Structures are given as C-alpha cells and as structure tokens.
Amino acid sequence: MYFPTRDEFLKLAAQGNLIPVARRLLADFETPLSAYRKIRGQGESFLFESVEGGEHLGRYSFVGCNPRAVIKQTGNRVEVLEGGRVVERFTVAPSPGFATLSPAGGEGRGEGEFVRDGGAGSPLPAAPRDDEAQRARSDAPYQVSDGLEVVERVLKKYQAVSLPGLPRFTGGAVGFIGYEFIHDVEPVVPRPPRDDLRTPTIYFLIADQFLIFDRVLQTITVLVNALLDDKAGAA
C-alpha cells in the first residue's frame, strides 16, 4: 500500500513542493549491499549507512539512484547537471586577495562587489538570486564564494514535507568534499600542484529516490519524492 493517500497528498501540497511517496515492504532476504549491487551501474547511485557510537550500524540504511541533479566542483569551476547535461555553471571567486562585500558593507557570500588588496576592484557577476536562476542556464558562469554555496542554492528550491513513520532524511544532498576544498575557505592553503586521483573537489547528488532499510522493523521502504511545479493544481 502506498502512502500518503491521494487526499493526504493534496493536503500536504499546501506545506511544500517536495512530497515523499512511499511503499513499505518486508525485508526478507534483501540487504542494503545486495540491493545496491542490483542498481549499481544504472547511473549515479550510493549506499549510505548510518553509524551509532562509532562502531555499530544505526537503524537506517539508504540506497539511492537516479538523482534529480548532480553538483560538481573541479578546481574553480562548479557545474549543476540534470539528466547528464550541464544546466548551470559557476566560477569560484579567486581566493588570494579577494573578498566579497554585502550591500551593507560587511563580508557576504556571492553577492556585491569584489575587493582586491584593500582596494575596490571591478564588479563581477554575483550568483543569481532565486528569481534570476533561469538566467544562469547559459555559458556565462556566475561568481560564487565556494562550491557549497551552489549546493545551498540548489537545495533552496525544495521545501520538503515530512511524513510520520519515515526517517528524518528523505532526500537531499549526498556526496563528498575533498581536501582541496580547504583552499576556498582558507586561501593561505594552496591547492595541491598535482591531481593524481583526478576526483572532483566537491561532488553531490541531489537524491530523491531511495530504498530505506529499517533494521528495527525489518522493512524496506521504497520512496520517491514528488516535485510540484508552480502551476496551480499541480498536486
């Protein structure tokens, strides 16, 4: 049986634009690892285990695939991909001697004027506001302070609705931050001269399709988040 029901779904649509739709099954023989092996190779995927006390597995395990978007930073270039296509591009502001100023004159994140060596520099394009997001879908990258600013901007598009009986995590950003990221927050630390591993600095999946394993109830919950658009009656 799927939940929420249709009537419940319509009521939840007034609370946000991202609503989980789920079905719970008995976990007779399937394990998180065996489930992950079955979906591995079908695009971006992950196995997310929870740990308690540093040694013991927690109650939930998450297996996810087919992310809504991918956010990747390589060097000072950040890209947002949907369906394998780049839909937004950003450039991390040069760190040495640069800072951002908010309209009030204090340091900010991604908006205002850039200053260099204590003097005002040429204004650079700031990261787009929410009402300007569509403009970012072009070849001209916007300036951001770091890759996590892009992750924050993408997540702001979604207002997730929680459902009783589900874990607190039912969707969001799953990924990693590499050591090289420290250069963006502490410019005195240089980037490594060589990239032997050839891995991104930041790599996050915006995940919203899961298998949730509950070790207490011995169940698997198949969950997909329904994203409502801005049109009236989308629910």
Residue pair 22/221 in contact by the 8 Å Cβ criterion: yes
Is residue 232 in some structural domain? no
CATH code of the domain containing 31: 3.60.120.10
Is residue 219 in some structural domain? yes
What's the whole-number mean pLDDT along residues 121-147? 59
| Two tokens, residue 173 | 């950003």
The one-letter amino acid at 21: V
How is 120-168 classified by DSSP, letter by letter?
A: E----PBPPPGGGGGGGSSSSPEEESSHHHHHHHHHTT--B---TTS-S
Nearest by Cα to 30 from 47, 55, 51:
47
CA angle at residue 72 from 117 to 63, to 5 degrees?
A: 145
How far is it, in rounded angstroms, from Cα 169 to Cα 61?
Answer: 11
Q: Which of 1-5, 50-54, 181-185, 193-197 has the highest mean pLDDT?
A: 1-5
State which residues form the domain around 173.
2-227
How far is it, in rounded angstroms, from Cα 90 to Cα 77?
Answer: 6
Is residue 8 in some structural domain? yes
Residue 27 reports pLDDT greater than 70: yes
Is residue 76 in some structural domain? yes
Q: Which residues contact 229 (CB under 8 A, 6 or more apart)?
A: 17
| Inter-CA distances, 49 with 46, 58, 123, 132, 225, Å | 10, 8, 44, 37, 20
Q: Which of 15-24, 179-188, 197-206 has the lowest mean pLDDT?
A: 179-188
Q: What does pLDDT average to over the chain?
A: 80
Is residue 45 in some structural domain? yes
What's the whole-number mean pLDDT along residues 196-224? 92
pLDDT tens track for 141-160? 789 989 999 999 999 999 99
Residue 97 is given by DSSP the state: T
**Which DSSP helix (H) or strand (E) runs through 36?**
helix 32-39
How far is it, in rounded angstroms, from Cα 157 to Cα 75?
Answer: 25
How far is it, in rounded angstroms, from Cα 70 to Cα 81?
Answer: 5
Is residue 176 in some structural domain? yes
Q: From the CA atom positions of the chain, what is the Rg in Å?
A: 21
| Two tokens, residue 219 | 């169940």
pTM, whole model, 2 decimals? 0.74
In the chain, the number of structural domains is 1
Residue 101 is given by DSSP the state: B
Q: Which of 10-14, 114-118, 206-210 has the lowest mean pLDDT?
A: 114-118
Is residue 235 in some structural domain? no
Is residue 91 in some structural domain? yes
The one-letter amino acid at 35: A
